[in-house]
Amino acid sequence: MENMKKSLFGMGAALILLGGCAQKQEQPALTLSGLNPANFEATIDGTKPVKLYTLKNHQGMEVCVTNFGGRLVSIMVPDKNGNMTDVVLGFDSIADYQHIPSDFGASIGRYANRINQGKITIDGTEIQLPQNNFGHCLHGGPTGWQYQVYEASQTNDSTIVLTMKSPDGDNNFPGNVTANVTYTLTGDNAIDIKYDATTDKKTVINMTNHSYFNLNGDPSRPATDNILYIASDSITPVDSTYMTDGTMMAVKDTPFDFNTPKPIAPSVTDFSNEQVKFGNGFDHNWVLKTKGDITQVAAKLTSPVTGITLEVYTDEPGIQVYTGNFLDGTVKGKKGVVYPQRASVCLETQHYPDSPNKPQWPSVILEPGQTYHSHCIFKFGVEK
């Protein structure tokens, strides 16, 4: 009897151990960037599942994406010493993305940037959009696509397609719109982003990616030592509410001239320039000389610390450069790091701000039967 008790005890212990092992095996492994996929699994609005998706290439690069807002959560690239480095700001959990307002890594829609007083006119009818930023409509309104759930389809290890089915009246924009964002991690360490959209009613659309880059890999400190190049001879100047006035301002002999690569500081705090003062730094649209040629470098960012480079290619006419001026040390991001002012640089390829109200600028109108297309490439490299 005693031997039987010992035998049964041993079997029970073994089952407990096996059960423990099974439980451990069920726990998803951390990503290369240290994210726990379990922290990104949730159901939004009762019916819309969200999770973390991982893209990889043969060079060891890793890109993590959540379909909540179509966001790039982490981007791991090699530095000059071969060390893998996370170069974007973000959060460790879907709860933080839900409850801490941010555009970190988001696929912005329907309309990236600002629309004056939130008003557009289509076929003679004025439409009032939400006014969520200094009286203007910013990034599609307070519940723009960065706060909505995209349907996700990961077709292979390196590609994910995110689909937004936006109903007529979404933030008061007209038309039922179906939009796709396709992220592809290429073999040469580029994130290729393709956007397309269709509508059943005339509307406006202007999509972009809103990643906050810190190529130093240390978002606890400002990224203003990063070296910036922009292929541009002019910006679209703004007033004190960040609204464009329809003109273009030459960058020559101003802090906005990055035709020759230079560090972002001290130009970004040269408040003797009215435009820098209005933006509290850089929060402006540069008019690109590349004129829609996707093969030409539109902008380039380089870290003097890690040697990591980021080249931006686009078929869009403009790029918004935003230097994280509204970060104020109150937001705690991945790994508990507090993000100070100017901890990052955003490079948002786009049509110009307020284009619906500026007929002299490239049109953002999308009509039934047409397909909106936009293409952006973030290509990473190293300079030693």
Catalytic residues: 210, 348
Asked if 321 and 347 count as a contact pair (C-beta separation under 8 A), the reply is: yes
Q: In this structure, are residues 107 and 162 in contact, taking their beta carbons and an 8 Å threshold?
A: yes
Task: Find the DSSP H helices in 116-206.
Answer: none
Residue at 140: amino acid letter: G
Distances (CA, A) of 136 to 121, 122, 124: 15, 18, 20
Residue with tokens 């060079």: 59
Give the bridge partners for 194, in sequence order.
182, 375
First to last CA, the chain: 73
Contact between residue 228 and residue 263 where contact means Cβ atoms under 8 Å apart: yes
Least Cα distance to 284 among 228, 242, 241 occurs for 242
Secondary structure letter of residue 296 according to DSSP: S
Alpha-carbon span 47 to 64, nearest angstrom: 23
**In angstroms, how far apart are the furthest CA atoms of the chain?**
95
Residue 370 CB neighbour total at 10 angstroms: 12
Q: Which two tokens stand for residue 288?
A: 């690109």
CA nearest neighbour of 149 among 70, 46, 54, 94: 70
Task: Give 90's contacts (C-beta < 8 A, 6+ positions apart).
Answer: 71, 72, 73, 74, 97, 104, 105, 212, 333, 334
Question: What pairs with residue 254 in β-bridges?
Answer: none
Residue 315, CA distances (Å) to 73, 166, 303 in order = 24, 24, 25
Q: Which two tokens stand for residue 350?
A: 């786009």
